[in-house]
Amino acid sequence: MNNTIKLAVHGAAGRMGQRVVALASGADSVEDASGFTVVGAIDHANHSKIGQDAGVVAGGSPIDVPISPQWPSTAEVVIDFSLPEALDACVAQCVAQKCPLVIATTGLSEAQKESLAEAARSIPIVWAPSMSLAVNLSMRMAEQITRALRDVAGGVDIEILERHHRFKADAPSGTALKFGELIADAMDADEPVQHVHGREGHTGQRTRNEIGYHAIRVGDNPGEHTIVFGMLGERIELNVAASNRDCYASGALAAAKWLMQGEAGGPKPAGMYNMFDVLGMADSQ
Ligand SMILES: NC(=O)C1=CN([C@@H]2O[C@H](COP(=O)(O)OP(=O)(O)OC[C@H]3O[C@@H](n4cnc5c(N)ncnc54)[C@H](O)[C@@H]3O)[C@@H](O)[C@H]2O)C=CC1
Ligand SMILES: O=C(O)C1=N[C@H](C(=O)O)C[C@H](O)C1
């Protein structure tokens, strides 16, 4: 009897989708990736790889699952690495099939975030802009540093630098925005925090109440974030960088597995979860 988790990958022909398919189908031996069977490899109907074996597209052996726009009826959990414009249909399908969902796609609109919250009333969803352990740990560290420096004499200027590959479609990264959101909360400022995206021209002096964001697009960088805490006379730079995409793929697989491990033996109850929940860092602020 096959007790593996039946997984469908949405955006399966993309850079990330390929790595999820490769790890989940055992092309490399990664602990978080064991115990899955890929039953669906979904991509856009016009993608040039439609009809090709998803395992081969991902650079491995055939797995007998074609890249297809069709949703398999057998999927028990779905991992999405696609595009904002593809996400609504994916969420609707998962709600219709009552299928737990891991959402990794970034660059969502406010309306999409609201419909995710609505969907999470009927299915369990893990939604996070970074599935990486190191990034999520760094987010907790950034919160701590922010709190520790909150009352430092002379103040602290916090700027977020992110570097990604030239193909990335959204800026700043979802991860940079999440760092900023968490840091803004930890600043606990009297005035609303201003989120300033890049600077040009006669900007005037930097205010104390802002977080700056700078998006760098270079070559094949799989993702790097640096949080600069600049004071008068010294600074801290918190840097977290991926060497390749497998930190995100294995994190997404860990999230899918976590969703399938509810207390009653089935999936987790409907609700919106994030990687802090998956990694056991929800209370470690
Ligand atoms: N949360 C995380 O840890 C990470 C999130 N990401 C995010 O994941 C997303 C995908 O990233 P990449 O794989 O680099 O992009 P990509 O462009 O290589 O892949 C996206 C895939 O989605 C497919 N797609 C487009 N429309 C579709 C539709 N209607 N139905 C099904 N599939 C469709 C595309 O054909 C493509 O194969 C981005 O938003 C990126 O920011 C990327 C890495 C890590
Ligand atoms: O597009 C990418 O590549 C990545 N996107 C995510 C983001 O926008 O934060 C996560 C990771 O940094 C890689």
The structural domains of the chain, with segments of one domain joined by +, span: 5-131+245-279, 133-241
Task: Say which CATH superfamily domain 5-131+245-279 falls into.
Answer: NAD(P)-binding Rossmann-like Domain (3.40.50.720)
Distance of alpha carbon 85 from alpha carbon 180, whole angstroms: 24
With b for 16 or more beta-carbon neighbours within 10 A and e for fewer, the 257-271 pattern comes to bbbbeeeeeebbeee
Residue 83: both structure tokens together: 């595009």
Catalytic residue list contains 164: yes
pLDDT of 27 reads 66
* 117-149 pLDDT tens trace: 999 999 999 999 999 999 999 999 999 999 999
Model confidence at 1: pLDDT above 60: no
Q: Is any atom of ligand 2 closer than 6 Å to the C-beta of 138?
A: no
**Residue of the CA atom closest to atom 18 of ligand 1:** 14
With b for 16 or more beta-carbon neighbours within 10 A and e for fewer, the 36-58 pattern comes to bbbbbbbbbeebebbebbbbebb
Average pLDDT over residues 41-60: 98
Among residues 10, 49, 164, 257, the one annotated as catalytic is 164
E strand or H helix at 166, and its extent? none
Provide ipTM, 2 decimals.
Answer: 0.99
* 156-169 pLDDT tens trace: 999 999 999 999 99
* 193-213 pLDDT tens trace: 999 999 999 999 999 999 999
pLDDT of 112 reads 97
**pTM greater than the 0.95 cutoff:** yes
- The model's confidence at residue 31, banded by pLDDT at 50, 70 and 90, is confident
- The model's confidence at residue 269, banded by pLDDT at 50, 70 and 90, is very high
Q: Is any atom of ligand 1 closer than 6 Å to the C-beta of 86?
A: yes
Consult the annotation and say whether 11 binds a ligand.
yes
133-241 is a CATH 1.10.10.60 domain? no
The 3-state DSSP class for residue 211 equals: strand
For ligand 1, the distance from its centroid to the CA atom of residue 105, given in whole angstroms, is: 6
